[in-house]
A = this chain, B = another copy of it.
Amino acid sequence: MSAPAGPRADEGRRAASIDVAFTAAEIRPARVAVVIDVLRATSTIVMALGAGYRRVLCTATPEEARGLREPGRLLAGERHCRPIEGFDYGNSPRAFDEARGEDLVLCTTNGTPAILSALSAAEEVLIGSLLNLEALVERIPTGEDVIIVCAGTGGRFALEDAYAAGRIVARLEGSWTDAARAAERLANSYGDTYEPLAQSADAAVLRETDQTADIEFCAQESISALVPKITPAGSQIAVASVGLDAEEARAGVGGVLEGEEAVNR
C-alpha cells in the first residue's frame, strides 16, 4: 500500500489554532495548554524540579497545601508575593538549588489556580517560563490546537506573562487568534527579556518586598531543558513532573485520591 492518509488527515486540513488567554477567564478548550506565570510560580516549578524534587504538588489554597504535609514533603508558596506562615519556602525560584525532600507542595496566588483551570480545558498541560523557553517550544506538538494560559494577576492582564506568551507564539506555526497575534507583536517590541519583566506591576511588588533579584533571575532565557507536565491528582491538586507517567505522578499524593488511584487513565 502506498502511504495512506493517517488518522490525523482530517485535522491536518485546517491549520492548528494558536491561542493566548491573557487571563484565566479567557481559557478556551484546546488539545495542549501551556501555563505561564513568569513572576514567579512556573519559574519556581522549573527550578524546583531541576533541583531534584521529583514532583511539585500544586494547590489553590494554603489550607490544601497544609493538608498534604507529610515526611519528605516541603511546602512553598506566597500570598500576594509574601511568604505563608509555617511554609518552608516562599515562591522565589532562587531558593531551589537543592532538594530537601521528595515532593514540593506549592501554593501561589495566581499561578497554581491557573494550572488547575488549564487542566479543565486541555488534555495535555505543560509548564512554561522564560527559563525553559527553548525546550518548551521544542516540546509543543505541531499541528495541534494550543492555548497559552497567562496566570495574570488577580484576574488582570500581566505584562510579563503576555510577553512570554508572545515569545512562544512566535515559534508556533498555525492560525493565530487575535490574542496570539497581539502577544507576538508585544513580545517583538522588546529588545531583551528583562525590560518587559521589570516594567510589570508584579515586578513593582517584588521591589517593594525586597525580592528584586527574582526579576533578573526569571528573565534568564533557556537555562533549563526541563518541560514539566501536569497530571491531575484529585480535583484540587495538580502534579508537575518530568519523566513520570500519570500513575507515578499521582501515586500516594493524598487522601483526595481514594477511589481514583485504581483508575488507570
Contact = CB atoms under 8 A, between A and B. Distances in A.
B186 A157 contact: no
Contacts of A177: 156-157, 201
Contacts of A95: none
A159 interface: yes
A241 interface: no
Interface string A134-168: 00000000000000000001011111001000000
The complex is assembled from copies of this chain, and their number is 2
Nearest to A156: B26
A137 to B, nearest CB: 21
A146 to B, nearest CB: 16
A25 B23 CA distance: 10
A201 B156 CA distance: 23
Contacts of A201: 177-178
Contacts of A199: 178, 181
A264 interface: no
A236 interface: no
A128 to B, nearest CB: 18
B185 A157 contact: no
A127 to B, nearest CB: 22
Contacts of A158: 178
A22 B25 contact: no
Contact of A200 (B155, B157, B178, B188): B178
27 contacts: A20-B157, A22-B22, A22-B157, A23-B23, A23-B26, A25-B155, A26-B156, A26-B157, A28-B156, A156-B177, A156-B178, A157-B177, A157-B179, A158-B178, A159-B181, A159-B182, A162-B182, A178-B199, A178-B200, A181-B199, A182-B182, A182-B186, A185-B189, A186-B186, A186-B189, A188-B189, A189-B189
Given A156-B179, A157-B182, 10 more contacts: A22-B22, A28-B156, A153-B178, A156-B177, A157-B178, A157-B179, A159-B182, A162-B182, A178-B201, A182-B182
